[in-house]
Structure 1
Amino acid sequence: MWPALWMLGQNFSTVSWPYCGEIDIMEMVGGNGLENRTVGTAHWNNGGVYESNGTTKKPYAPVSYGDNYSLSGTETLANAFHIFGLTWTPDSITWYIDGVQYHSMAIDSSASLSAFQKDFFLIFNVAVGGDWPGSPDANTVFPQRMLVDYVRVFQQN
């Protein structure tokens, strides 16, 4: 299972991923003893060249920059509600869980990081399988759910 609270650039439908940018506020991949770990990551295009159909070339070089935070002891993310936070300014993106900062990334208006100077939209989902968690197997428990108590968005004046 792969629950996540994340954002994509509002221009996703016109420029596609990774050009639009992506900010993962919270991702959690269950199983294998990882039920106590959350991950916060940013993804964007950093130039480079991707060759498509052997003739058409587009700049394409996805970059991922992130970190993870693990709860202590036997606590898991499913044992209680947790507050996942993100502070996003023109200069940085900072990730929090339960008020504890665990990751920060400097951003600027350079061409490679310009996606993070534009509008984004929120996505909440629980994916079943994928490249990161792998496919469900006989040990995967169904049904699954992700409970969200509230969402707050603040904008600095």
Structure 2
Amino acid sequence: MKPIVLFLSVFTLLSCGNKEDKKEFYFEDNFDGVELNQDYWNYELGDGCPNLCGWGNNERQIYTKENVSLLHGNLVIKATKDSTNYYSGRITTKNKIEFQYGTIEVKAKLPQGAGLWPAIWMLGNDIDTNTWPACGEIDIMEYVGKAPHQIHTTLHTPDSYGQSINTKITTIKNIEDGFHLYKTNWTKDAISFYIDDTLVYTFSPEIKNDKTWPFDKPFYIILNLAIGGNFGGPEVDDSIFPQEFIIDYVKVSSSD
């Protein structure tokens, strides 16, 4: 199947009315079915070996299809543990839904506990030939259970990656309670991050080139719940399992 590549910046909006009326939705999944729509999503399985063991971060989980489900109109990514291993889920829109510029909205409820690392993020669709970090990475939301109440929004580029300086930590006391909206508005000029429609960070380097701004090309979405790793760990509280990362919907629309 060829990817659906959406160049959102080139559409002319002709509708009238309020600002929300003028937004055009190019991709939306409300997870209302009984199984994951594989016209949109891929399962990523295993532990990353042999090419990227621990998925490059010394993570402990094995990703399975069984740890991803649809329930009551939500996507549920469940982290579990047996006597030997940790298990979880990771899905992507790679080669299926890819887009350049736009507003990405994800309404989600976080899991809790030391060692958990849920994330909503994006990678450049040229990653197979233009390897990370050259492909670019947009981290819409990262949360680590060892640091409650903190949301990380980060950009990884050839100029700054790993412990990137292009980041913001936002502390919200009740972020673990219920669902919250994580949104990124991406244009040719800037990438802005919102939590519950409050602007928390804008990235717009003065000089935009391949080193500082690998963001003028299509990207794809990733949703996952990692366990342990360089960022989420190293310690994992085994008493917390099972835990669920729950996503109500994913939407991609024209830029604000």
Q: Which amino acid aligns with 2:170?
A: Y
Q: In the TM superposition, what is the alpha-carbon distance from 1:114 to its structure 2 partner?
A: 4.1
Partner SS, residue 253 of structure 2 = coil
CA contact (8 A) 1:88 1:94 kept: yes
- Answering whether residue 219 of structure 2 is matched by residue 120 of structure 1, we say yes
- Answering whether residue 237 of structure 2 is matched by residue 146 of structure 1, we say no
* Mapping for residues 31-46 of structure 1, pairs under 5 Å: 31=146, 34-46=147-159
Distance 1:5 1:138, change over 3 A: closer
In percent, how many aligned pairs have the same letter? 35
1:73-116 superposed Cα distances (whole Å, 9 cap, x missing partner): xx2x3311000010111010111000111111104642313411
- The list of structure 1 runs, each at least 4 consecutive aligned residues, that deviate by more than 3 angstroms after superposition, is 136-140
CA contact (8 A) 1:128 1:136 kept: no
Which residue matches 1:23?
A: 138
Which residue matches 1:129?
A: 228
> Normalising by structure 2, what TM-score?
0.50
Q: In the TM superposition, what is the alpha-carbon distance from 1:134 to its structure 2 partner?
A: 1.6
Q: Which amino acid aligns with 2:211?
A: S
Specify which structure has the bigger relative contact order, considering alpha-carbon pairs within 8 angstroms and separated by 6 or more residues.
2
Which of 97, 101, 104 is equivalent to 2:195? 97
Which residue matches 1:70?
A: 171
- Answering whether residue 102 of structure 2 is matched by residue 4 of structure 1, we say no
CA contact (8 A) 2:123 2:136 kept: yes
Which of 201, 210, 213 is equivalent to 1:111? 210
Distance 1:71 1:16, change over 3 A: same
Paired positions, count: 138
CA contact (8 A) 1:19 1:45 kept: yes
Partner SS, residue 247 of structure 2 = coil
Q: Which amino acid aligns with 2:168?
A: D
Q: Which amino acid aligns with 1:28?
A: Y
CA contact (8 A) 1:109 1:117 kept: no
1:1-27 superposed Cα distances (whole Å, 9 cap, x missing partner): 100000000001111100100000000
Which residue matches 1:49?
A: none
Which residue matches 2:34?
A: none
Q: Which amino acid aligns with 1:135?
A: P
Distance of 1:4 and 1:156 partners within structure 2? 22
Q: In the TM superposition, what is the alpha-carbon distance from 1:155 to its structure 2 partner?
A: 2.2
Distance of 1:133 and 1:19 partners within structure 2? 23
Q: Which amino acid aligns with 2:172?
A: L
Distance of 1:14 and 1:84 partners within structure 2? 30
Partner SS, residue 129 of structure 2 = helix
Gaps of 5+ in 1: 47-60
